[in-house]
């Protein structure tokens, strides 16, 4: 379904929506193709008939959570619209208005990785439930402060920051729990259904907030939001997941899990490509999210109804485009689709720069919604299919960090620039940056899912030991001896270099390869791991895609490999000390 701060929205606009679109969580398992040298072309779209968008609703849990999430996100979008409008009433300085988005985005950057580590090692359902209750309590306190006119600009920013922090902690856990809600064959349909649900709430919430603020005052939307996620809490209290992950090894320790997540991300080129493309887009797209309240209030001289209507138009554009995503992807391909969304975002920024009447701003908002869903859904999918299950929470957390880090920096940048140069010039500069980012990031290709099988291969034999080894014994050195034809030396080393990244992704460090000075056919691969337990985990983490990489190395062999495991030796006096 969706988790914590919708990664399909933004800012408060992201903090307001506590439930992420399920495009974040669709696993894609296909067979690994042979690795080829030279420039790689994007695989053509596969002609597979998708499941009906209604098929996930056969499951009672999905059905109830979907409905509860839509209600919660409507409340969140009302909060979003009311918070942005409240700040323009308290302090209309462009920098202060843009800091609302920065306060919402920064916690997602700051806490995403620790939250991702937690998502991979704890009971996700209980964790989500506890955080949902805390979000409700924080929202109630803020509604009281607004009703009693005790909110200042800095109080507003503080509560945005606190609420976003809770959402940041919750997001990876919710992303990781989604595949438990529907059968594997219904996951693609669940993605479409959840995208529609998120954007329905985005279309309804802001427009409803504008009407409520005009009729009942600015405090009313905050009270409605405070209790909008009661349904989500009720469903999680009732639901008892039948999914049980049978652990054969102890859970990872928190700090070790974070280190492993960082090491994995640095050595996963597919994920790195997605992160770089995300930074190139969100840094500039953050401009219209940060400045939209000022466009509505100052540039067009509208009221809360107009601001809510513009946010609703963004949601309507996204809902309409969500139904066309599969056809657009078939026509333009994954990377072409993102380029199309980036061009649409640049057009949005130009139109907002020229907007002096509501009609032009509404047209810009419709284009913004269509462009946003196109880019974000594609980036989310690319990040998702680059990750195996064991590190999914941490890998997605790195994507969240790139997303919200860019949004935070961009929000402050565009707010400061708008104060110096004005709203129109700022929008035009952001539009130029969006277009410039297209050729600069083109070389980083996004993932389609074709040729990647990240399911565990389980083909490594268990290491042989003469005596029991303590789990925390280490560090551990693993050596692999290869015998090859010296004439194949260069090709062998190239193939082994690809394997080195797999070793590092799965927990190894200090990787190296050495050639015997007395026998040019003998090579020794070495790598270290923190502990014996970490090496046992490495055995469980190897995927079928990794197995294919290893098979390219094995084709050079003239004899069987010889694998040895060595543990740092301690003398009796060292142990006593």
The per-residue pLDDT for range 134-150, each reduced to its tens digit, is 989 999 999 999 999 89
Q: Are 492 and 554 in contact (CB under 8 A)?
A: no
Instruction: Output phi, psi for 526, to 5 deg.
Output: -135, 145
- Per-residue pLDDT, averaged over 453-460, amounts to 74
The residue that leads in pLDDT, 43 or 331, is 331
Q: Is the pLDDT of residue 524 over 50?
A: yes
Under 8 Å between Cβ of 398 and 124 = no
The answer to whether residue 345 scores a pLDDT higher than 90 is yes
Q: Across residues 20-41, what is the average pLDDT?
A: 35
pLDDT at 53: 61
Per-residue pLDDT at 204 exceeds 90 = no
pLDDT at 519 over 90: yes
Express each pLDDT in 88-118 by its tens digit: 788 878 777 777 767 877 887 788 788 888 8
Give residue limits of the domains in the chain.
12-27+52-441, 476-576
171 close to 115: Cβ distance less than 8 angstroms: yes
In this prediction, residue 279 carries a pLDDT of 92
Rounded to an integer, the average pLDDT of 442-468 is 76
Mean pLDDT of the chain: 80
- Residue 81 pLDDT: 76
Average pLDDT of 191-195?
68
- What does the DSSP assignment read for 119-143? HHHS-HHHHHHHHHHHHHHHHHHHH
Give the Cα separation of 568 and 577 in Å (integer): 16
The pLDDT of residue 430 is 95
Model confidence pLDDT, tens digit, residues 498-515: 899 889 988 888 899 999
pLDDT tier at 22 (50, 70, 90 boundaries)?
very low
Structure tokens at 100: 């609302």
| Alpha carbon separation from 112 to 32, 244, 405, 559 (Å, rounded) | 30, 25, 10, 46
Average pLDDT over residues 465-493: 89
CATH 3.40.50.150 holds for 12-27+52-441: no
Query: Which range, of 5-14, 438-447, 523-532, averages the lowest pLDDT?
Result: 5-14
Predicted confidence (pLDDT) at residue 61 exceeds the cutoff of 80: yes
The lowest-confidence range among 121-125, 431-435, 484-488 is: 121-125
Q: 365 near 313, Cβ under 8 Å?
A: yes
Tokens describing residue 494: 């190239």
pLDDT at 398: 87
Band (pLDDT 50/70/90 cuts) for residue 189 is low
Q: Would you say 117 and 258 are in contact if contact means Cβ atoms under 8 Å apart?
A: yes
For residue 563, report the phi and psi dihedrals to the nearest 5 degrees. -105, 130
Mean pLDDT, rounded, for 212-230: 88
Confidence of residue 276 (pLDDT cuts 50, 70, 90): very high
Q: What's the confidence (pLDDT) of residue 490?
A: 94
Residue pair 249/540 in contact by the 8 Å Cβ criterion: yes
pLDDT above 80: residue 386: yes
Closest C-alpha to 285, from 7, 90, 75: 7
* Residue 35 predicted with pLDDT over 50: no
- Tell me the range of 2-16, 45-59, 408-422, 516-530 where mean pLDDT is highest: 516-530
Give the span between the Cα atoms of 399 and 403, in whole angstroms.
6
Residue 243's pLDDT band, with cuts at 50, 70 and 90, is low
Highest mean pLDDT among 191-200, 385-394, 438-447, 507-516: 507-516
Nearest residue to 403 via CA among 382, 389, 388, 417: 382
The SS3 assignment for 569 reads coil
Q: So what's the pLDDT on residue 56?
A: 79
The reported pTM is 0.72
The two three-digit tokens of residue 526, written as one number: 């070495």
Maximum mean pLDDT: which of 19-23, 122-126, 232-236, 452-456 = 232-236
Q: Is the pLDDT of residue 18 over 50?
A: no
- Token code pair at residue 517: 């000075």
pLDDT at 5 over 70: no
Higher pLDDT, 3 or 547: 547
Q: Domain 476-576 adopts which CATH fold?
A: Alpha-Beta Plaits (3.30.70)
- Would you say the C-alpha torsion 335, 337, 341, 343 has a positive or negative sign? positive
pLDDT category, 486, cuts 50, 70, 90?
very high
Tokens of 420: 């110096």
Mean pLDDT of 525-537: 90
pLDDT in tens, 129-187: 888 899 899 999 999 999 998 988 899 889 888 988 888 888 777 766 766 777 766 66
pLDDT of 27 > 80? The answer is no
At 414-426, the pLDDT tens digits run: 988 998 999 999 9
Looking at residues 67-94, what average pLDDT do you find?
A: 83
d(C-alpha 167, C-alpha 107), whole Å: 9
pLDDT at position 451 is 58
- The more confidently predicted of residues 52 and 469 is 469
Lowest mean pLDDT among 51-55, 199-203, 377-381, 557-561: 51-55
With 70 as the cut, is the pLDDT of residue 9 above it? no
What integer pLDDT is reported at residue 267 of this predicted model? 87
Burial of 363 (0-12, 13-18, 19+ CB in 10 A): middle
Task: Indicate if the pLDDT at residue 47 is higher than 80.
Answer: no
pLDDT of residue 191: 63
């Amino acid at each position: 379904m969706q988790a914590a701060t919708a990664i399909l929205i933004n800012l408060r606009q992201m903090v307001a929506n506590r439930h992420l679109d399920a495009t974040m969580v669709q696993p894609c398992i296909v067979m690994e193709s042979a690795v080829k040298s030279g420039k790689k072309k994007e695989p053509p779209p596969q002609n597979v008939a998708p499941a009906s968008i209604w098929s996930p609703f056969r499951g009672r849990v999905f059905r109830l959570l979907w409905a509860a999430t839509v209600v919660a996100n409507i409340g969140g979008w009302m909060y979003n619209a009311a918070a942005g409008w409240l700040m323009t009433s308290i302090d209309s300085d462009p920098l202060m208005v843009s800091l609302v988005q920065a306060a919402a985005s920064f916690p997602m950057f700051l806490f995403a990785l620790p939250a991702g580590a937690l998502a991979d090692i704890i009971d996700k359902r209980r964790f989500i439930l506890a955080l949902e209750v805390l979000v409700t309590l924080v929202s109630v306190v803020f509604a009281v402060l607004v009703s009693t006119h005790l909110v200042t600009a800095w109080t507003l920013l503080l509560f945005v920051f606190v609420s976003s922090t809770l959402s940041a902690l919750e997001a990876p856990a919710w992303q990781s729990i989604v595949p438990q809600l529907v059968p594997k064959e219904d996951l693609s349909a669940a993605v479409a259904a959840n995208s529609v649900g998120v954007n329905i709430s985005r279309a309804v919430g802001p427009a409803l907030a504008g009407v409520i603020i005009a009729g009942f005052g600015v405090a009313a939307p905050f009270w409605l939001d405070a209790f909008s996620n009661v349904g989500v809490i009720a469903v999680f209290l009732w639901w008892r997941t039948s999914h049980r992950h049978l652990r054969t090894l102890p859970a990872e320790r928190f700090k070790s899990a974070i280190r492993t997540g960082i090491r994995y991300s640095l050595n996963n080129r597919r994920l790195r490509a997605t992160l770089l493309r995300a930074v190139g887009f969100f840094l500039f797209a953050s401009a219209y999210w940060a400045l939209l309240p000022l466009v509505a209030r100052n540039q067009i001289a509208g009221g809360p109804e107009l601001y809510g209507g513009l946010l609703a138009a963004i949601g309507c554009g996204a809902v309409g485009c969500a139904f066309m995503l599969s056809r657009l992807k078939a026509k333009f391909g994954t990377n072409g689709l993102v380029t199309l969304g980036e061009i649409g975002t640049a057009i949005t920024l130009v139109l907002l720069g020229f907007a002096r009447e509501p009609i032009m701003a509404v047209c810009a908002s419709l284009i913004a919604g269509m462009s946003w869903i196109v880019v974000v859904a594609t980036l989310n999918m690319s990040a998702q299919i680059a990750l195996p299950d064991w590190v999914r929470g941490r890998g997605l957390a790195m994507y969240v960090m790139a997303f919200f880090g860019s949004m935070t920096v961009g929000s402050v940048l565009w707010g400061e620039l708008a104060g110096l140069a004005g709203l129109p010039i700022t929008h035009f500069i952001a539009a130029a940056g969006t277009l410039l980012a297209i050729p600069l990031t083109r070389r980083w290709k996004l993932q389609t899912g074709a040729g990647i099988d990240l399911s565990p291969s389980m083909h490594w034999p268990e290491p042989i030991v003469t005596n029991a080894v303590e789990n925390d014994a280490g560090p551990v050195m693993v050596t692999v001896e290869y015998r090859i034809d010296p004439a194949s030396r260069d090709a062998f080393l190239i193939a082994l270099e690809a394997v080195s990244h797999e070793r590092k992704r799965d927990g190894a460090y200090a990787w190296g390869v050495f050639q015997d000075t007395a026998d040019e056919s003998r090579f020794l691969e070495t790598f270290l791991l923190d502990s014996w337990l970490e090496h046992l985990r490495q055995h469980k983490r190897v995927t079928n895609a990794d197995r294919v990489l290893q098979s390219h190395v094995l084709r050079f062999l003239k004899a069987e490999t010889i694998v040895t495991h060595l543990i740092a030796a301690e003398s009796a006096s060292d142990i006593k000390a």
